[in-house]
Amino acid sequence: MANDTPLQSPVRIVREIPHTVSPGLWALAWKRLKSDNVGMVSLVIVAAFIAMMIASGTGLVAGDWAKESGVNYAPPSFLGADIEGGTPAAPGVPAAPTAPAVEYKSEVVDPLADVLAEIKGEQKPAGTDAAAASAGDAGKSVDPLADVMADIRKDARSAPAEIVATRAATLPFGGDKWGRDVLKKTIKGSETSIFVGLAAAAVATLIGTLFGALAGYYGRWVDDFFNWFYSVFSSIPYLLLILAVAAVLQQKGTLTIILILGLTGWTGVFRLIRGEYLKHKAREYVQAADAIGASNGRRMFVHIFPNVSHVVLVQLSIYAVGFIKAEVILSFLGFGVPVDVVSWGSMLNEAQNELILGKWWQLAAAGTAMAILVTAFSLFTDALRDALDPKLKGLAGA
């Protein structure tokens, strides 16, 4: 009896070893990531933002963000409608929605703001017009981009009854200059900003990986050439390069901004991937691939690439954060997405003038949404790097 147990267990272990498949890099990384609470929470937040982006892109949520569902600068519901000193109390007047809505706007008194004065100035002639049209006119007077506003006005006029009927004195998270729901607008803005960030990160990583692979794998003059190319690009500060390209490319568009960010931002990943390929190309498994007659391209992308792909993934994540921030700044300055596309940057641009009028909610909404996503994404990137970094592999297993 006593002899059986010690005899059996080593036999069983020996027999079982061939059956256990040693976990691969990705399985190990996933296990490590799962044990990282901060990493998992931030992964869930990032995934939620991306799900929101897809839902908004396919029109499931915030499809009607452009609808002017509240009065101009409708305050958030939790504040109540009356926050402007000189404004007559507007809440609880659902009986005749058209007239109060116009009065509410025209009697706003704020001597400090020329923007508001402009609205007021344009408001008087508009007041004689039909009440339904005045909303569009008020918006137009402030916006120098008459074309876009004309479109919006045309849309508004096509269904005036609906617009007028649904104008509310307050909105859950407030309204913007045209009375659009800030919450829906933020969701729509997230869609643009996150999409641009991810797409540009994909472009930059793709270029950087390709160049890095070629330079590291072939070495010699190919390496020299790409290194020269790298030093040229990296000697121009990143923002200046982006602005120079933005100045040259006259047309604005989501695709343009993705290309600008992607084509100028590949240098970081290039350097890392080149180093990895230099290291890997002399390893035995690559020599073995050579021996069985694998072509250069196959060795580069089928054999070596899976072994450096974790570096690529971490870089992709780092880039996404950086490009989301860059897109916001570019769109803020007006070099990013076109005016009829809403992004966090364009929202912050509007918020800048709104704050002086005391309308802080658009700034808060766009700023908070961005801060949450970027915090979660950076923490997730850190967790991902810890989970995938080969240097820490031995430490984490011990």
Partner 1 sequence: MTAYIIRRVWQMVPTMLGVILLVFILFNWVGGDPAYVLAGKISNQEQIDNIRRQLGVDQPAWVQLWIFIKQVLTGDFGASWSTNEKVSNILATRLGPSLTVLVPLLILETIFAIGLALAVAYVRGSLTDRLVMIVCTVGLSISILVYIIVFQYFFAYKLGWFPVQGWGNSFRENLFVFSALPILIALTVSIAPNLRLYRTFFLDEINQDYVRTARAKGLSENRIMWIHVLRNASIPIITHLMAGLPGLLLGAFLIERFFSIPGIGREVILAVERSDFPVIKALTVYVAFATMASNLLADLMYKAADPRVQLK
Q: How far is the CB of 78 from partner 1 (least distance, A)?
A: 20
In 3D, which of 314, 330, 308, 329 has the Cα closest to residue 378?
314
Q: Tokens for 25, please give them.
A: 């890099």
Minimum distance from residue 277 beta carbon to partner 1 (Å): 23
Phi, psi of 70 (to 5 degrees): -125, 180
Using the minimum distance from each CB to partner 1, give the nearer residue, 97 or 334: 334
Output 17 or 248, the one with its CB closest to partner 1. Answer: 248
Supply the minimum distance, in Å, between the C-beta of residue 126 and partner 1. Answer: 29
The CB-of-276 to partner 1 minimum distance in angstroms stands at: 22
Task: Please list, residue by residue across 263-288, b when 16 or more beta carbons sit within 10 angstroms of its beta carbon and e when fewer do.
Answer: bbbbbbbbbbbbebbeebbeeeebee
Q: Are 348 and 332 in contact (CB under 8 A)?
A: yes
Shortest Å distance, C-beta 236 to partner 1: 5
- Of the pair 134, 362, the CB lying nearest partner 1 is at 362
Nearer to partner 1, 172 or 367 (CB): 367
Least distance in angstroms from the C-beta of 296 to partner 1: 27
For 138, residues 6+ apart whose C-beta sits below 8 A from its C-beta are 72, 105, 119, 122, 123, 126
| Rounded CA separation 66/75 (Å) | 17
Residue number, 90 or 246, with CB nearest to partner 1: 246
Minimum distance from CB of 331 to partner 1 (Å)?
Answer: 10
SS3 (DSSP) at 288: helix
Torsion on CA atoms 176, 179, 183, 185, rounded to nearest 10: -70
**292: which DSSP letter?**
T
Alpha-carbon gap, residue 168 to 69, rounded angstroms: 6
Q: What radius of gyration do the chain's Cα atoms show?
A: 29
Q: What is the C-alpha separation between 296 and 273, in angstroms, rounded? A: 17
Give the largest Cα separation in the chain, rounded. 105
Asked whether the beta carbons of 92 and 71 are under 8 A apart, the reply is: no
> CA 352 → CA 117, 191, 332, 345, distances in Å?
17, 21, 10, 11
The minimum distance between CB 356 and partner 1, in angstroms, equals 7
Q: Which CB sits closer to partner 1, 295 or 352?
A: 352
Closer to partner 1 by CB, 39 or 100: give it.
39
Q: Which residues bind partner 1 (CB under 8 A)?
A: 228-229, 231-233, 235-241, 243-250, 325, 328-329, 332-335, 344-345, 348, 351-352, 355-356, 363, 367, 370-375, 378-379
Residue nearer to partner 1 on the CB measure, 30 or 225: 225
Please state the closest distance from residue 352 (CB atom) to partner 1, in A.
5
Tokens matching residue 242: 């982006």
**Nearest of 197, 195, 176 to residue 65 by alpha carbon:** 176
257/370 with CB nearer partner 1: 370
CA–CA gap between residue 208 and residue 269 (Å, rounded): 5
Beta bridge partners of 76: 171
